[in-house]
Amino acid sequence: MRRTDGMPIISIGAALIALVLAAHVPEAAAEQARTLFERESEYNHVIVQQEGNERILHFRRRSVDYRETVVDTRQPLRLIAEWTRLMMAGLMFVQQPRRVLMIGLGGGLVTRVMAHHYPDCTFDNVELDPAVVEAAQRFFYFTPGPRMRVHVRDGRIFLRQSRDRYDIIILDAYRGGYIPFHLKTREFLELVRNHLAPGGVVISNLHHGTRLYDADRVTYAAVFSQSYAFVGREDSNVILVSHVGTSRLTREQLEQTAARLQRERQFGFDLPALMRHYQERPDYDRSARVLTDDHAPVESLNENGR
């Protein structure tokens, strides 16, 4: 989870404790953390802070700061946050990505690192909030250009309008701890699937802390025939890599591909090591109900622990 206090809020009691903690934390943290940018935009309360070498993009919601991006200002290509490393697992599934779509820019770290290692690839980043784009450019070394495009739009609207197909589509449109329901439903995932190039994959950032995870997994299974889960240990993040088709890669094939890519691309992160997070056995309740535009109780599911 990206909550900085690392505490899943299950009950009202816990929420109150978090509120009290959050009210006290800024005083204590003020000594180390320096706020570089703060804006209440149309969609988010965006905060950029510097803590030592770490520059952090927070979205504050209900007095809780959710970490969206963490960048090392001495080594800007380093992937400090576990979930950003885990997202790179998607690279094992695509031989030569040419086009990548990212929905939910954050600090733009993930596509920036990918662009560094794949110089022939072009990137489309879709972000609803102009303040986030501004923060990414000013504080997170994100530089738009012809290879690194930014579209200030709703992710679903962008896809609905686009006729392009992508080798990798990354779904990470968090708004302070939650994803808007219209970016979680079967209809949305079908739209995503229809924009995949042959052999393309979807990389999704999920959380396994609540019952929403079961509904998410069942919904992905309804749209994509294959899914591979990479489970985080530091937070409750699960990175899910999904594609269509009947052929499924084995653990050995993935390990070999990861080792080969690591040699060829000289990643700054350890791609083969991500296989330790690979969870082959389905870790979700298959009787959960598929999320649809008609019925997507994401808020109430997200309040119930598993």
Binding residue for another protein (CB under 8 A) from 180, 222, 231, 244?
180
Is residue 151 near another protein by the rule CB under 8 A?
Answer: no
Binding residue for another protein (CB under 8 A) from 181, 193, 244, 283?
181
Helix (H) or strand (E) holding 254: helix 251-265
Nearest approach in angstroms of CB 251 to another protein is 37
Q: In the numeric block, which tokens belong to residue 137? A: 């450019």
CA 210 vs CA 1, 217, 298: distances in Å = 11, 12, 10
Is residue 12 near another protein by the rule CB under 8 A?
Answer: no
Is residue 161 near another protein by the rule CB under 8 A?
Answer: yes
Is residue 178 near another protein by the rule CB under 8 A?
Answer: no
- Which residue reads 């309804």 in tokens? 222
Residue type at 132 in one-letter notation: V
CA 118 vs CA 114, 172, 255: distances in Å = 6, 20, 20
Binding residue for another protein (CB under 8 A) from 187, 255, 270, 283?
187
Is residue 144 near another protein by the rule CB under 8 A?
Answer: no
CA 25 vs CA 2, 13, 22, 31: distances in Å = 16, 18, 5, 11
Nearest approach in angstroms of CB 88 to another protein is 28
Is residue 292 near another protein by the rule CB under 8 A?
Answer: yes
Q: Is 260 helix (H, G, I), strand (E, B) or coil?
A: helix
Return d(Cα 47, Cα 175) in angstroms, integer: 13
What beta strand segments (E) does 27-185 contain?
33-40, 45-51, 54-61, 64-72, 99-103, 122-127, 148-152, 166-171
Binding residue for another protein (CB under 8 A) from 40, 293, 305, 306?
293
Is residue 62 near another protein by the rule CB under 8 A?
Answer: no
The answer to whether 101 touches 194, Cβ cutoff 8 Å, is no
Is residue 40 near another protein by the rule CB under 8 A?
Answer: no
Complex with another protein: residue 4 or 292, whichever CB lies closer: 292
Is residue 205 near another protein by the rule CB under 8 A?
Answer: no
For the chain, give the longest Cα–Cα distance: 55
Is residue 252 near another protein by the rule CB under 8 A?
Answer: no
Judged by CB under 8 A, the number of residues near another protein is 21
Nearest approach in angstroms of CB 9 to another protein is 18
Residue type at 138 in one-letter notation: R
Residues 6 or more apart in contact with residue 33 via CB below 8 angstroms: 49, 50, 51
Binding residue for another protein (CB under 8 A) from 14, 299, 304, 306?
299
Binding residue for another protein (CB under 8 A) from 123, 166, 188, 228?
188
Complex with another protein: residue 78 or 149, whichever CB lies closer: 149
Complex with another protein: residue 10 or 157, whichever CB lies closer: 157
Complex with another protein: residue 80 or 152, whichever CB lies closer: 152
What beta strand segments (E) does 247-302 contain?
278-279
Is residue 16 near another protein by the rule CB under 8 A?
Answer: no
Is residue 285 near another protein by the rule CB under 8 A?
Answer: no
Instruction: Kindly list the residues in this chain that would bind another protein in the complex (CB under 8 A).
Output: 42, 128, 153-154, 156-157, 160-161, 180-182, 185, 187-188, 292-295, 297, 299-300
